[in-house]
Chains A and B, each alone.
Chain A
C-alpha cells in the first residue's frame, strides 16, 4: 500500500500502557493515511488518545507496535537523536497553553527552531520577520510572552511552528484556552497556512466549530476512527 500523495501512513498502530497489572490499549491496530496538504480535525472524548496520536505522529512518542511512515520512511524506529532532528526539520507544534519561553521576546521565541539550522544570523532574522508577518505579530516582536494576550501568544507560537518551514503542523487544542473571537482568528490563520502555504495540519479539538475549519473531521473513539462527512 503506497500512496504518492500520502504524507503519513499509519500501519497497524498500537499503543498500550501498563498500569499495575493491567494493560490498557489506547489504539490497537490503527490504519490511516494522511495526504499532503490535508487539514484534519481530530475529535473525541477525553482520554480517547488524541494527544497520544499527535505524539506518535510528531515523533515524540513511539508506538507499542505498528509503523508510522512519513514520506515513505518509517520514523517509529528512529533513535531519539534522529527523531529530534526529524522533528526540527519536518514538524511544527502548537500547544493549548502556547508554551513560549517566558524569558525570551516574541522574535527570540520564533527564532528558537532556527538555532537548529545552519542559517546565518541575518537569514534567521529575515525568516523570523516573515513568520511574524504571516501571523500579524511583527509589531510585537520585542514583547515578552508575559506582555502579550493569550491570542497573541498563540500567534507567536504559530510563527514559531512555521518558521523552519516544516511539512506538517500538529496542534493540540490550539484554541482551547481562547475566547470565541480570538479562537476564530487563530483558526483562520491556520486555514490560511493550509490553503496558501500548503501546510498539512492535524489539529486536536473539542470544539465542533473549530473542527469545522478543517477539511476533514475524524472522531476517535475506543481506539477507532469514525469519519464524519462535512455538513
Chain B
C-alpha cells in the first residue's frame, strides 16, 4: 500500500458518484475530440503551398462564374507563372447521395499548379492529357467506389445539363492519383474542361476559379492587386486572395467551425467544472474526520493537499482519456463513412496535447479548493465533534 492506494480508494469510495463524474468528464472530452476531428477535416489540405498560391474568383461569390477570356488575360499579367482554370461539376455517381467532389479543369495547367497534391504515373498522366473523355480520380475516391483505370463511368451533375438533354457525362478513368506525402486529400475527381464545356446545354465558356502560381511568392500581393484592377468596373469583377484564405472563406459557408467549436467546448467544460468542482468539495468535506485521523497519525498538511489534488487529477485523466479514446474510435468509424465529404477525419497531435493540457487543468482547478480545505482541517475540531 502507498499514497496512490489511498487516493484510488478515496476516489472510488462511492462508486456510482465516481462513475457519474467520470462519465460527465468523458462526455466533455468526447465532444472535444469529435469536434476537433471535424475541424481538422474541414481545414485539411491547407498546407504551406496554399499560402503561396493565389485564387481568383468572382467578386460577388465563388459560385458565380467568370468569363473564359479572363484566363488568357490573367496569364498575361506580369509575375504569373501558371494559371489553372476550373469549374464546379457537382457530381454524383448513380444516386444523388453518392456525392463525388468533381471539377472540370484544364489538365496541363492544373497538374502544374498542384505538383504535390496530384501525383500520377507518367503513362496515366500522358493518357489524361491526351484523352478528351478521360478523368482522373484520387486514391480515396477510387477505393470508395471501387473504380480503377480503364473503367467507364457515367458521372451525373446536379448543376449542369448535357446537350443531349441528360445530366450525365460519360468518363473514362485514365488514372488514379496519389499525393506525395499522404497529407492532402485524394477524395475528388477531375475531368477535361474542354469536354465538359463543349457539351454544356447552358453556361458555356465560363469557369468558377483560377488557381495562380506566381514566379515569386513575394510578388503575390502585387499580382493579386493587378488582376483585380484589370477587371475592376467590368460586369464580372474579381477577387484574388491566397488559396489558404479562399479555403477558409469556403469553409465559412458551413458556419464558423472554429467559433462553434470554442463555444460548445467552452460550455461543456464550464458545466463539468462546476459539477466536478462542487462534488469534489462535498466528497472531501464528508471525509473531514478521516483527514483529521491521517493528520493525527503524522501525515503533513502538504501531503494531504497533494493526495486530494492527485485524486481530482486521477478522476480528470480517467474520464478524459476514455472520452478521447472514444472520440478517436468514433472519428475512425466516421472517416470511412464520410470519406467522400471529409478526408482526414481524425485527431491530430495538437488535439491530443490540448486535451491532455485540459485534463490537467480540469484536475487542478477542481482539486485546489477541496485540497486546500483538507489541508486546513483542524484535528481537535474535527475529532471533537462526533
Contact = CB atoms under 8 A, between A and B. Distances in A.
B300 A112 contact: no
Given A51-B384, A99-B383, A60 B296 contact: yes
Interface stretch (A78-86, A183-191, A199-207): A78-86
A88 B13 CA distance: 26
Nearest to A101: B290
A108 interface: yes
B294 interface: yes
A104 B9 contact: yes
Interface residues of A, number: 30
A88 B290 CA distance: 16
A158 to B, nearest CB: 14
A81 B301 contact: yes
Interface string B351-386: 000000000000000000000000000011001101
Contact of A88 (B298, B379, B386): B298
B3 interface: yes
Describe A's contact surface by its main secondary structure.
helix
Nearest to A89: B298
Contacts of B384: 51
A97 interface: yes
Contact of B293 (A89, A101, A108): A101
Contacts of A27: none
B380 A87 contact: no
Given A103-B9, A104-B9, A84 B299 contact: yes
B1 interface: yes
B234 interface: no
A61 B293 CA distance: 14
Contacts, number: 67
A99 B289 CA distance: 8
A55 B382 CA distance: 13
B295 interface: yes
B253 interface: no
A55 B296 CA distance: 10
B297 interface: yes
A37 interface: no
Interface in A89-128: 89, 93, 95-97, 99, 101-104, 108, 111-113, 115-116
A200 B383 CA distance: 23
17 contacts: A51-B384, A52-B380, A60-B380, A81-B302, A84-B295, A84-B298, A87-B296, A87-B298, A93-B296, A96-B386, A99-B383, A102-B290, A103-B10, A113-B298, A115-B1, A115-B2, A116-B299
Given A52-B380, A87-B297, A103-B10, 19 more contacts: A51-B380, A58-B296, A61-B379, A84-B295, A84-B298, A84-B300, A85-B298, A87-B298, A93-B297, A95-B383, A99-B293, A102-B13, A103-B13, A104-B1, A104-B6, A104-B9, A112-B294, A113-B298, A115-B1
Interface of A: 51-52, 55, 58, 60-61, 80-81, 84-89, 93, 95-97, 99, 101-104, 108, 111-113, 115-116, 160
